[in-house]
Structure 1
Amino acid sequence: MPGGISRDGAWTLLCEWTESDSLRRHMLAVEYAMRAYARHFGADEEIWGITGLLHDLDYERYPSLEDGHPRVAMRELERIGVADEIIRAIGSHADEMGLSRDSEMERALYAVDELSGFVVACAYVRPQGLEGMTPKSVKKKMKTASFAAAVDRAQLRRGAEQLGVDFDEHLAFVIAALAPHADVLLARADGDPSP
């Protein structure tokens, strides 16, 4: 296991720490986007995917950005022997940690985290869900301040910029990464969202 934990082990750990189906689906969305970017950059898909899957491991239990998330998860992952590159990427995705984003994986995680959640939120209010979604429709929702109001629109653009990709291309890429998993990501009833 190059990352110090298998995908199955990461999913089991996530389920132990996270009861919320919506948060589990968010972490799956980030995993899917990270795996797609790993393929795009010729990187290790398992390591990138596990990083995406575990990035919010402690958020439900320790949501405080000042002394909880993602610090608690980082300590737990270190304790169980997860690779340093995964732990550091998880730390760097939170602006509050003040860590630089030095690797492509760190920049990709930052770029897809909030955007994946925003794209899924957009899909929830569309009759077709993710099918046929365009960057233009997502950008239109970004202009509506009351829609997914907690999402920092500037951060969405900053993430693409730090990753070195055009924002529209980044949007299209993330939509394409999530669309094949719409059945899991857009499940409306409570239940296990495992793929």
Structure 2
Amino acid sequence: MQRKEALDILHSKLKKKNLVKHSLACEIGMKRIAEYLGEDADLWGLAGLLHDIDYEEIEDAEEHGKKGASFLKGKLDDKVVKAIERHTGYIEPKSTMDIALYALDPLTGLIIAAMLMHPSKTLAEIDTKFVLKKFKQKGFARGANREQILACEKISIPLDDFVNIVLKAMQEINEELTG
């Protein structure tokens, strides 16, 4: 599947602007993590882009990921479909791609929350140190599961590096994410 087709699917399945922006953040983050690990950036990007396509359709949180994976089966590489199915943690993430998406998903939200707390309120102005400071504050962005983000260490990416890679990736598409 090419990115254009994936974007068409994304826009047909997700109507909320913030979910589309989150998906774009996950796409660019997954691409840069793939590059860091020497993996196929375009393939990993598709996992990030399409991981939440069932979000507006599901009622039971445990079904999130499963419905999207079922819809994408046969349209995408099986590795991508499995990563999408497993990104919530209800089914254990196993592959490197699975774990990367599982860890990255809440990190993008933490980064956006950190941006909103920064005096500049701009993605371009925050740095890794600022995000890590917010990461350590237990009461900050409670929905961003810290244990889930720390899964990055299971794929041999230290937390500082993981945050730095994903933050820099999101800054690349600052206009799309904040406009």
When the two structures are superposed, what TM-score results if normalisation uses the length of structure 1? Answer: 0.84
2:2 to 6, 17, 25: 6
Q: Which residue of 2 aligns with 1:91?
A: 85
For the 8 Å contact 2:29–2:104, the answer to whether it is kept is yes
Aligned residues: 178
Supply the AA of the counterpart residue of 2:11. C
Consecutive aligned runs of 4 or more in structure 1 exceeding 3 Å deviation: 143-146
Q: What are structure 1's unaligned runs of at least 5 residues?
A: 188-195
For the 8 Å contact 1:30–1:116, the answer to whether it is kept is yes
How far, CA to CA, are the matches of 1:110 and 1:100 in structure 2?
7
Q: CA deviation at 1:95?
A: 0.9
When the two structures are superposed, what TM-score results if normalisation uses the length of structure 2? Answer: 0.91
How far, CA to CA, are the matches of 2:35 and 2:106 in structure 1?
20
How far, CA to CA, are the matches of 1:100 and 1:184 in structure 2?
29
More helix per residue:
2
How far, CA to CA, are the matches of 1:92 and 1:134 in structure 2?
30
Most deviating of 36-45 and 24-33:
36-45
**Counterparts in 2 of 1:123 and 1:83: CA distance versus 1, 3 Å:** same
How far, CA to CA, are the matches of 1:12 and 1:137 in structure 2?
35
Supply the AA of the counterpart residue of 1:20. K
What are the superposed Cα offsets for residues 145-178 of structure 1, whole Å, 9 maximum, x if unpaired? Answer: 4432212122222x22122111111111111111
**Counterparts in 2 of 1:119 and 1:63: CA distance versus 1, 3 Å:** farther
SS of residue paired to 2:12: helix
How far, CA to CA, are the matches of 2:164 and 2:153 in structure 1?
15
For the 8 Å contact 1:111–1:163, the answer to whether it is kept is no
Q: Which residue of 1 aligns with 2:65?
A: 70
Q: Kindly report the root-mean-square deviation, in angstroms, between the aligned alpha carbons of the 2 structures.
A: 1.7
1:125 to 117, 129, 133: 117
State the identity as a percent: 30
Q: What are structure 2's unaligned runs of at least 5 residues?
A: none
How far, CA to CA, are the matches of 2:172 and 2:75 in structure 1?
32
